[in-house]
Structure 1
Amino acid sequence: MEWFGHSNQDFDFDMFSASHYTILVICVLVNTFIFANRKKLSDERWRKAELVTALSLILIEITNHLWMYKHAVWKLGRSMPLELCNIGLLLAIGLLLTRKKIYFELLFFIALLGATQAIITPALTYDFPHFRFFHFFYAHLMIVWVTLYFLWAKGYYPTFSSVIKVVLFINLLLPAILFINKAADGNYWFLRHKPKSPSFMDLLGPYPWYILSLESLLVFLSLIVWLCLRIWLKGDKRTSFSES
């Protein structure tokens, strides 16, 4: 069975398996590395690494779409880059390329509240060493690591207005996602039903109430994360490199 093949017969993913635990350990170790080396990583010489990382994210995402097309599984209702983590990936690329704070403000909450949850409870079919395994975790891990890099090394941090911006951003996209779901028989943002694999959504009630729970949770957790970060940074003299 080739690692880039179609059939998942030999690659069935099991949550909290050895491969999943390995990813979780890598996530924690790299998070710790970024924090411990935040002063060194603030050096401008890392600019090339930012651009290379952005290019790698673009290439792996293009490769993923080519894989879906090659194996005839690309569908309007599930393959467009419309999931929140897909949007987070695009924001991460934009942040790496431009360093504009607006990308960080939107990415910060999507990364910590969305990508982190996806890493812990992945909606994934293919296990190691399949390409889709690498694509899923590389993309989601990079969303988190890029966010923490700009937070800890580059001095970007969200404000109260950032919470308002991300809530408005998501709610402005919501009607379009609902329309696409209906037109393409899709389930982007899990607005038509919960993921088949276990996830935290199982704790949020039945359809459609879990959608309202998600909305409330977005606002509540965003405010909590912002408040905790504000307390942590109290007295910190760091300023962001870009305010626009």
Structure 2
Amino acid sequence: MSWFGGSYEEYDFNMFSASHFTVLAILIIIVGCLYIFKERLKSSQWRKAEIGTAVFLLLLEMMYHVWMIVNGNWQLSHAIPLELCSISLFLAIILLISEKKLVYEILLFTGLLGASQALFTPYLNYDFPHFRFFHFFMTHLLIFCIPLYFTWIKGYRPSIYSVGKTMLFLNILMPFVMIVNWLTGGNYLYLSHKPKSTSLLDLLGPYPWYIVSLELLAFSLSIIIWLLLRQRERSLPVEKPFRRRA
């Protein structure tokens, strides 16, 4: 079972390698199909598939923690599910089961923003076909696609208040995560330092100013997502005035 264990040197992952581009191609295909076939998919019953996806995500995350324990990698400094994508994963599970609009409103922004960063600039040591490779990309693909599924197929739409709810959620969460970082020596939500690998944070200034820049960027990008996915009012046709024939 070397695919479940082994050192990362055996499966050294390189950004923008063939395996990475394959995953990005799969992402584009899934998103494209969700959008192109959205009307056809609306007519089908997907409730069992939604619950099954939630169970699959939960089992996959449990296997990840088992993998860390078996290989001696489970530590408080990095194994607590307090990263943005870990939080989004559990939000996705809750949304699939409960179908709550509030959960959708938050996941739409945390999922699209967090998972897109992870998919395009992954912080990953293990390449295909290691378990960690599958866990990382399968969870992030689903985190990205589930809110789009609820938008295009289920008919959910964000409002401008959804952006405010998300920013409030993150700012309530932030002090708690900072305390956890201080107690465990961790770097959850990258609130202690930037990731070692190349990431968007490299463009946002030094510590701690990149945190402020990141929040402003998250707000700006959330506004763009809202503008793209909000419910648009359908304009009624303007009736032409009746003209009596001469």
**TM bucket normalised to smaller:** over 0.9
Aligned pairs for 1:37-52 (under 5 A) are: 37-43=37-43, 45-52=45-52
Q: What's the counterpart of residue 11 of structure 2?
A: 11
- Residue-pair matches, total: 235
What CA deviation, in whole Å up to 9, does each residue of 1:135-192 have, x standing for no partner? 0000000011111110100111110110010000000000100000000000001111
Aligned pairs for 1:203-222 (under 5 A) are: 203-222=203-222
Q: Residue type of the partner of 2:105?
A: E
Q: What's the counterpart of residue 152 of structure 2?
A: 152
Shift of 1:44: 5.1
Greater shift in the superposed pair: 174-183 or 203-212: 203-212
Aligned pairs for 1:52-63 (under 5 A) are: 52-63=52-63
Q: What's the counterpart of residue 28 of structure 2?
A: 28
Q: Residue type of the partner of 1:176?
A: F
User: What CA distance in whole angstroms lies between the structure 2 residues aligned with 1:130 and 1:70?
Assistant: 15
Unaligned runs of at least 5 residues, structure 2: 236-246
Q: Residue type of the partner of 1:94?
A: I
Q: What's the counterpart of residue 180 of structure 1?
A: 180
Task: Give the TM-score of the pair, scaled to structure 1.
Answer: 0.93
Q: Residue type of the partner of 1:77?
A: S
SS at match of 2:82: coil
Q: What's the counterpart of residue 243 of structure 2?
A: none
Unaligned runs of at least 5 residues, structure 1: 237-244
Task: Give the TM-score of the pair, scaled to structure 2.
Answer: 0.92
What CA deviation, in whole Å up to 9, does each residue of 1:189-213 have, x standing for no partner? 1111111110111111111111110
Confirm or deny: 8 A CA contact 2:151 2:229 kept in the other structure: no
Q: What's the counterpart of residue 113 of structure 1?
A: 113
Aligned pairs for 1:74-85 (under 5 A) are: 74-85=74-85
Which of the two has higher C-alpha Rg?
2
What CA deviation, in whole Å up to 9, does each residue of 1:12-70 have, x standing for no partner? 11000000000000000010111111122223521111011001000000000000011
Q: Residue type of the partner of 2:202?
A: D
Q: What's the counterpart of residue 234 of structure 2?
A: 235
Shift of 1:130: 0.5
Computed over aligned residues only, the root mean square deviation of the Cα atoms, in angstroms, reads 1.3
User: What CA distance in whole angstroms lies between the structure 2 residues aligned with 1:78 and 1:219?
Assistant: 26
Percent identical pairs in the alignment equals: 51
